[in-house]
Structure 1
Amino acid sequence: MTAEPPIVIEHREHVWYLLYQAAQLEHMIMCQYLFAEFSLKSDGLTADQQAAVDRWRQELHGIAVQEMLHLALVANLMSAIGAAPTFNRPNFPQSCGPFPPSIQMRLLPFGEAALTHFLFLERPEGMERVDAAGFIACDPPPEPVVAGEIFPRAQEFATVGHLYRGIRDGLTALAARVGEEQVFCGSPAAQATAELFRWPEMVAVTDLKSACAAIDEIIEQGEGAQGDWREAHYGRFLKVWEEYTALRAADPGFEPAHPALGAFTRQPFDVREPQPLIGDPGTMVLAELCNLAYEAILWLLTRFFTHTDESEEELGVLVGAAIAMMAGVLRPLGTELARRPAGPAHPGRTAGPAFEMYYVMDNVVPWRAAAWTVLTERLHQIVGRCAPHAAGDPVIAAAADRAKAVADAVDACGARYR
């Protein structure tokens, strides 16, 4: 068993940097799981095959939801130490970027490659696994941070759990050195709670004990507590992989997913290598709507986690709007997108949600009235973009109805400030 190299944390900015990395990591892992979920077929299979695919869809969705929880817990940790939570991240694919060279991100349809990649990402401490074909580390690991470095920078971590153990140990040492009150200087009112998110596992972080509880929740759901990974993400993916392998052995022609491609509406601004672009006009419409819904969810969550003087009712509206956009708009549009042709340049391939980041997403202004005006405007723009296509496309029509309900709810809540 290979020992994990120590992660060095000497001051707040070291923690801040690592939590920012953790937020990007959780965000991109969640998107990979959603892409695989959306790619799964709903017809054209035998009854037994379809039953298995439906189980895998639910499993992927459940794990993706837990990754969303992890992202929210990281946001709580950031807020607790005085760092503004962010939902910005780089575009896919990421081979040599914000993470150590062994941790790479790519959108893959459900299948052997995707499952191999997911098992690699979720592997427990000390477990040796090889990533899927094509995931090749291209840079040497960063040099270890040494005592006395004032500016934070990338550090090597072998697994997701390794990163969080380093953050937990660093926070513990930092609190012992300067005091918990100094470390956890954020306002308790800024914390996401179990009541607001209706997640029993949500931990409001206000001190070292609650910070360690939040980190342990992430580690246990991902790789398992004390090496018991059977009910953790790793064990759940392994069970899916075993079932998938058995069904493929029984029927080598079994294809449970559409050949989805993480195709973009335009070349991403932060990826140097040319990326596949959507060439079908109807698919392009759907992809843009999907990206708008995704962007709106991020803006709603950003306002929640960096709110100022919103009431409990208003915070509930923000959370409810984000969940409704995810379930009622992004999920059906993303699922349908994985069934639409990517275009003539990609014969035989369907599209899929690339979760495009069109620019570096930063926070909106802190003033409540202006922030809610911006949110309401963007939500109504989504409804307006759906309108010309709703009559001829039942998926877009249903998404438009859900988006309008969300926009009206946010508009009604924000109208009191205008």
Structure 2
Amino acid sequence: MDLISQTAVEGVAGPGTPPTYPTLSGVDLADIFRFTQGQPWTDFARMRQEAPVMWHPEPFDGPGFWALTRYDDVQRVNGDPETFSSQRGGILMSMGSPEKRHALLFRASMDTMINLDAPHHLQLRREHMPYFTPAYLRGLTERVRGEVTRLLDDMEPKLAGGAAIDMVEHFSSVLPLFTLCEILGVPPEDRPKFLTWMHYLERAQDLAVKQANAPLQPTLELMQFVMDFNNNVEEMFEYGRTMLHKRRQDPKEDLMTAIARAQVDGALLSDEYLDGSWLLIVFAGNDTTRNTLSGSMKLLTEFPEQKQRLIADPSLLPGAVDEFIRMVSPVIYMRRTAARDVEVNGQRIREGEKVVMYYGAANRDPAMFENPDQLDVTRANAGKHIAFGYGPHTCIGKRVAQIQLEEAYRQILARFPDLNWTGDIEIAPNNFVHAISKLGVKRGG
């Protein structure tokens, strides 16, 4: 099964039909540096009000896209994969210029379940399901609870005397990788490799951004990093291939075995799709939960009265977790490509044009959520958020994310009720995920 030729398409130039709504001046959702200040909530509010299906030109030579910001429109597109395809163009706004792509990472990011439509998407999804059922997750919850306790034990002396620490380094980046390794069945001695791989992938993205902004001089240090990065990427994929092939010969009760033995149309996955499955689970199992863990601490500091309600009544926490996810919306957007001519909210869209759904904008639509910019841990419909998508592509691991958030904040609020964000935050230049790379926290005011 090789679909790279189908997924790596940019879409047709447009707009092919007259825009119903204006392209708003000052709104640039392709400028990744704007996202270092957080998601552009003010722009999203303008778009929902004035241009809910807005033609957005791309800053480079590629075609633009239709940007959707209203809850109902995002839900509709997510729920209609026959009209709005993941497979025809993948999920990213742009593929980037071919000469700047990392060949192995690019291909793996294309050859993956998230970029497939039915029936292949459903076949692969079905293979993963046994590791996300309530029965399996009950045992996982106990292990997550123990890891949260261990991490907080390690943090306690570092927070002594009002000292500030980075929550991302000491907690938010560690817990999701632990949970991922537990589900995959990664041996404990191999788990430090995952932290190293993530470190290099994140640093490489920062360097790529700096290079695009102002070309870097080819210093010995930079050349060494590039060599180390390539070695680590190769090691990450080689480890995945080796372990997955081992699971084919010696199956175990873990997700790695499910991936290794998954079949599409009666055939095992090719090595290219094993690479894609490996990359997807490593990223999807880590990035969004990590950023929501950090973003939730920021929210509870910004809304101290809501924090006190949770401390006074911990039974509110399951609903509060949905509210955290709604407000953080760690995945900023998902792309689809129109498989036929269609109309959305009065706007005609041509077959082949790109449609980009902004989850954060939809999750703050006042037509669905009253006072949407206010954290409300008792919000009755918080679970209606679409931060995990909607329809057949709903994130398969959403319950795992909820478990980690609930266990983390149950213990944090009980043990460190005075833990707060210091105001120190760094957000990576990324317009696909809300990537919090540093979040200072300390005990006290």
Q: Is the pair's TM-score, using the shorter chain for normalization, greater than 0.5?
A: no
TM-score by length of 2: 0.24
The structure where strand makes up a greater share of residues is 2
Higher RCO by CA contacts (8 Å cutoff, separation 6 or greater): 2
TM-score by length of 1: 0.26
